[in-house]
Structure 1
Amino acid sequence: MKHLPILIADDDEDDRFLIKAAFEECGSTIPLFFVQDGLELMQYLNNENAYADANVYKQPSLILLDLNMPKKDGREIIQEMRSNSNFKAIPIVVLSTSNAPSDIKTCYELGANSFITKPSSFEGLLEIIKNLQQFWFVTASLPQ
């Protein structure tokens, strides 16, 4: 089955590199698109500016969302997506350095589907990516 892309929003260049490397290490064939902040994420979803070509920038099957980003943070993105009928069904997995109970609670209250604290090692990230792929692309059914 051909999957729609995963959209990854993270303002940290090193984290984007490690996430991409972890997907590659896991043998993933799912297309990945990266954005650097919440504003860019919404431009992607709305096919605006650099993301105008809807044939290239397809609606994602899943969003991996960093919480603390410039322009629009993860909380604002969750709220904006969940209030828009075009985007409310797209699963959002928060992948953040935060493990604060208040951040976790807020994200779930706003409509995040999952909250994962970024691990401190690449091996930990590999395990998370393996589990994400298994759950979201094998076990769960996603909207098309």
Structure 2
Amino acid sequence: MRYDRGSSLIESLTALAIFAIGSACHAVWIGQSMATHARASRLVAATTIALSLEARMRVNREGALAGHYESEARSLSCAAGCDWREIAAADLWLFHKAIDRHLGAGASSRVACGPASECTISIAWLGRPVIDWSFRL
């Protein structure tokens, strides 16, 4: 007499193998989703930071055309008034501070203005370009 209660070892191992494959696929999907989310977050942050600096450069056009957005960044209080060179240094300091806060230590940046009032703001993360923002003053 044969009893058909429960499941056999083969059925149990088959179900376990199917569950393991499904779990592994789910883990890969979650990892890829998190990596895509991180890239998108870096892109949004870099775009926002670049737009902010572009607006500051448009306000301080003389400082941008003179090349002072390519030089030293430092914190200043312009409550008593600053010239365009000091405003450029303060804007660059705020730019670098925003990059450090939102993108972290792996981020690097470069600001360059060339002939015909053409400027570029480049932001990279771990050596890979995130954004190259070009605009005309």
TM-score, normalisation: structure 1: 0.24
Q: State the structure with bigger RCO (CA 8 A, min sep 6), 1 or 2.
A: 1
Structure whose CA Rg is larger: 2
- Hey, which of these two has a bigger chunk of helix by percent? 2
